[in-house]
Amino acid sequence: MASIQFSRGVDEEIIPDVRLTRSRDGSQGTARFTFENPKALADDATEEITGMYLIDEEGELTTREVKGKFINGKPTAIEAVYLMRSPEEWERFMRFMNRYAEQNGLEFSKS
C-alpha cells in the first residue's frame, strides 16, 4: 500500500501530475508534484497541511516544500517538490512511485 498525505493520517485521493528530472551523472534528482483540487484543500478539510508524506511498506519520504496555488483568492492546487540528493534516494523514491503507480493505474512516460 502506497499513499500520499499532506496531514498525517489523511490520505490524499487526488492523483498528482509528477515531473521528474535527474542530473546527468545521476547523483541528484527532483520530483515536482501538482495536485489539482486536492481533498486537502476542500472546504470541509479540517487538517492542517504540514508537508507531503510519501508512505509505503518501506517507510516514509517527507518534504516540507509544499505550496498552495490560488486563483481569485481560492485555493486550487498544491505543488510540492521532493529533492533526491543521492542515487540511493533516487532508487528509494522510484520504488515508492512504482508502488503508487501500480496501485493507482498510472504509467511512466519519458519526454
CATH number, position 40: 2.40.30.220
Q: 3-state DSSP helix/strand/coil percent for the chain, to nearest 5?
A: 20, 45, 40
β-strand partners of 54: 4, 61
Residue 56 lies in a domain: no
Residue 55 lies in a domain: no
What confidence tens digit (pLDDT) does each residue in 18-53 have?
999 999 998 899 999 999 999 999 988 889 999 999
Is the predicted pLDDT of residue 111 greater than 80, yes or no? no
Q: Tell me the pLDDT band of 107, cut-offs 50, 70 and 90.
A: confident
φ and ψ at 43, to 5 degrees?
-55, -30
Residue 109 lies in a domain: no
